[in-house]
Amino acid sequence: MLLKETVQKIRELDNEAMEKARRHQKDLIKPCGSLGMLEEVAVKIAGITGEITPLLEKKVVVTCAGDHGVAAQKVSAADQEVTRQMVQGFLNGGAAINVIARHTGAKVICVDLGMIRPVDDPRVREHRIGPGTADFTGGPAMSREQAKAAVEAGIRVAAEEIAGGAQLLATGDMGIGNTTPSTAILAAFTGLPVSLITGKGTGIDGEARRRKVEVVEQGLKANRPDPREGLAVLAGVGGFEIGAIAGVILGGAASRVPVVIDGFISGAGAMIARSLAPRALDFVIASHLSKEPGHKVMLTWLGVSPMLQMNMRLGEGTGAALSFSLIDAALKIAGEMATFEQAGVSDAGLR
């Protein structure tokens, strides 16, 4: 019921606000379009919020964690215990996401959707679906009911943060092996050969990558997820944290709050979100282009353009949090830059 109600609340962007924002950009003392994506982001956020020059001061990175049964197929260079250890590192404030979030004035929250070993800490948001997914090479990663529960968990977390004042959300992930289900999701929706879109994840070697390709192909063959059904794809070859990322996107869109997606894993969550509610992608800002080879294909399929290209592939929400600085700049330009009239500058040929 929550998923259906949330999808029904997602409306189109405020076209009137966007047109006013475009006209405002033309009035500023610069050649029209000269600030590129900074202008585009400001216009998009106007369409989301209905405000021409908003300030989105309260930012929250929602880092979703979960483990994956397919990790038993040796598709990652790291052991699954690292999922738990890294979540503890997030809570202690020493991880890359913490550093970047402090730099950009954002809060980081950690959500446990299904780590094998939970972290006993009250700061963790507990929305556990189970102790990791099943190995999808032999059957579904989860049941359809679990897939729906994962998405609805993300919706609830987004709603909680927005009720607490969040004006800008970002998605992040933690889950050893999660580039494998993300690759499977990408292949399921696009139909592209797995070998073309499979990367090295945390840094596996050539032989391990070949094994990863085989594992994804085996999972797709075993489950045959229907690309017309987002929950079917998620249940067949996805992950609990990927479903929650989709839910955060849907929850933000339903409340008209911008959601900045991180890299490859967040992109997989966005693919699920788009399948469930195509209009939800209007409320998404893509932070960066990951080094994962399938990410460019993913962003093209989603119809979004990345703000940054930094050869990043860490996850956690790092790229999304880093882009907060650019979003702040875009909004401050819209709100603080002088107009031609105010500055007494001739606009001849510049608008």
Catalytic residues: 316
Owner of token pair 């989709």: 246
| φ, ψ for residue 143, nearest 5 deg | -80, 165
| φ, ψ for residue 297, nearest 5 deg | -60, -45
Residue 224, CA atoms < 13 Å, CB-side half-sphere? 0
Round to whole Å and give the CA distance between 242 and 250. 13
Q: Is 62 helix (H, G, I), strand (E, B) or coil?
A: strand
* Pairing between β-strand 59-66 and β-strand 106-114 as defined by DSSP bridges: parallel
Nearest to 257 by CA among 164, 153, 151: 164
85 CB neighbour count, 10 Å cutoff = 15
Q: Is 172 helix (H, G, I), strand (E, B) or coil?
A: strand
Two structure tokens written together for 42 = 């400001």
List CB contacts of 334: < 8 A, sequence separation 6 or more.
21, 24, 25, 28, 42, 46, 52, 53
Q: Is 169 helix (H, G, I), strand (E, B) or coil?
A: strand
Owner of token pair 């401050």: 332
Round to whole Å and give the CA distance between 202 and 76. 7
